[in-house]
Amino acid sequence: MINIQTIASSSKGNCYYISDGSTPLLLEAGVKYKEIQKALNFNTKDIAGCLITHEHGDHSKGIKDLLRVGKNVYMSQGTKETLQLENSRIKTVKAKKQFQIGTWTILPFEVEHDVSEPIGFLLKNKAGDKLLFATDTYYIRYKFKGLTHLLIECNYSIDILNENIATGRVHKGMKKRLIQSHFSLENVKEFLTVNDLSKVQEIHLLHLSDSNSDEARFKREVQELTGKLVFIA
């Protein structure tokens, strides 16, 4: 049984808590540690580490806080170099090279974003849970079998974006960056269609755009497509 809690999920900051009952982890550190503490009722002592996908501030600005309180932080070499961090608790990981944190076996994989070395994570435990975490990517080149939980970005829908550009609500220059760096509803649905969802218990849609998304619609369309329990983070 996996416990998933969203601490923050937006362009202002991203941070998620997961636990399999034995090893609690943080996914991203895009908020201050005091916000993490407050969200978790100050039950942070047992957090075994934090996984970072890339260096943008809304995913990384709380890293120094975590290092200061003695938490290990895992990231790619490219992310570490860009953030210019040197600390014995920073652990560099490579795509397709799995590593262990407590009861979790974790496999990083490449994603597509406008940064130096972004990654996503596939986490599995001895109980048979398999959790996929992917955010800030416009495409996922891999297929996954036996997933039980998905935490996946669903940032915008192309029709909402186009309408916002047409009405002047969003600058047209934003379109190219969004399309080349974030996961759209349309791409999420395509990804879900080609993957094995037979064991999936929960789908969490992450990092929705403030202006180019529609929570109710995104939830409804993914639920109708998959027949699974869908949450908006």
| Domain residue extents for the chain | 3-232
Read off the tokens for 180: 């080349």
3-53 residue pLDDT tens: 999 999 988 999 999 999 999 999 999 999 999 999 999 999 999 999 999
Task: State the residue for tokens 């953030």.
Answer: 83
Q: Are 111 and 96 in contact (CB under 8 A)?
A: no
User: What pLDDT, on the 0 to 100 scale, is given for residue 11?
Assistant: 85
Quote the mean pLDDT of the chain: 94
Q: Mean pLDDT, to the nearest integer, of 70-92?
A: 96
201-226 residue pLDDT tens: 999 999 999 899 999 999 999 999 99
CATH number assigned to the domain with residue range 3-232, chosen from the 4 options 2.160.10.10, 3.60.15.10, 1.10.8.50, 3.40.50.1000? 3.60.15.10
Looking at the DSSP assignment, which residues form a beta bridge with residue 159?
A: none
Q: At what angle do helices 185-194 and 215-226 cross, to 10 degrees?
A: 20
Angle at 19 between CA 225 and CA 29, to 5 degrees: 90
Distance, C-alpha 133 to centroid of its chain: 5
Q: Which amino acid is at 4?
A: I
Q: Which of 45-59, 75-89, 121-135, 160-174 has the lowest mean pLDDT?
A: 160-174
User: What pLDDT, on the 0 to 100 scale, is given for residue 178?
Assistant: 80
Report whether pLDDT(92) > 90.
Answer: yes
Buried/exposed 134-154: b ≥16 CB within 10 Å, e otherwise: bbbbbebeeebeebbbbbbbb
Q: Which amino acid is at 142?
A: Y
Cβ atoms < 10 Å from Cβ of 216: 8
